[in-house]
A and B are shown apart, each in its own frame.
Chain A
Amino acid sequence: MKYLLLFLVLALGGKQVWAHEFTPAYPTLEQSYMDGVLQTKMLLFNLRKDVTYYELDVFDKDWNKVPFAATDKIVEVKYLERKYIDVFVREKDKGRALYICSKSKLLSDNSNITMVATRICSKIK
Chain B
Amino acid sequence: MLKKSLAIGFFMAIFMAARASAVEVPIVGNVAAKCVIVPDTAGVYGNPSPDELSTDTADGGVAPIVRYDVLQANFFKAVISYPTAFSVSPALSDVVNWTGSVATSKVSVSGMSAYDTNKVEYNNTSEFNLTIAGTTWFKTNSTAEYGYGKAFPSGTYRAVVTAECIAL
Residues in chain A within 8 A of chain B (CB atoms): 17-21, 23-26, 47-48, 50, 99, 106, 108-123
Q: Report the bound CA distance from A112 to B157 in whole Å.
A: 6
Residues in chain B within 8 A of chain A (CB atoms): 32-39, 42-45, 55, 64, 66, 69, 75-76, 83, 87-88, 142, 156-168
Q: Report the bound CA distance from A48 to B160 in whole Å.
A: 16
Q: Report the bound CA distance from A82 to B47 in whole Å.
A: 40
Q: Report the bound CA distance from A116 to B37 in whole Å.
A: 10
The winner among B33, B39, B76, B159 for most chain A CB atoms within 10 A is B39
Q: Do A121 and B167 have beta carbons less than 8 Å apart?
A: yes
A-B contact pairs, 26 of them (CB 8 A): A19-B37, A19-B39, A21-B34, A25-B33, A25-B76, A47-B38, A48-B39, A108-B87, A109-B88, A111-B158, A114-B44, A114-B45, A114-B55, A114-B158, A114-B160, A115-B42, A115-B87, A115-B158, A115-B161, A117-B160, A117-B161, A118-B165, A119-B164, A120-B166, A121-B165, A122-B167
The 10 A-B residue pairs whose C-beta atoms are closest, nearest first, are A114-B43, A123-B167, A116-B39, A113-B42, A25-B33, A19-B38, A119-B164, A118-B37, A121-B166, A25-B167
For residue B87, which residue of chain A has the nearest CB?
A: A108
Q: Do B159 and A117 have beta carbons less than 8 Å apart?
A: no
For residue A115, which residue of chain B has the nearest CB?
A: B160
B residues less than 8 Å from A20 (CB atoms): 36-38
B residues less than 8 Å from A47 (CB atoms): 38
Majority secondary structure of chain B interface residues (helix, strand, loop or mixed)? strand
Q: Report the bound CA distance from A106 to B35 in whole Å.
A: 20
B residues less than 8 Å from A50 (CB atoms): 39
Q: Report the bound CA distance from A110 to B87 in whole Å.
A: 10
Q: Do B158 and A118 have beta carbons less than 8 Å apart?
A: no
Q: Report the bound CA distance from A120 to B66 in whole Å.
A: 13
A residues less than 8 Å from B38 (CB atoms): 17-20, 47
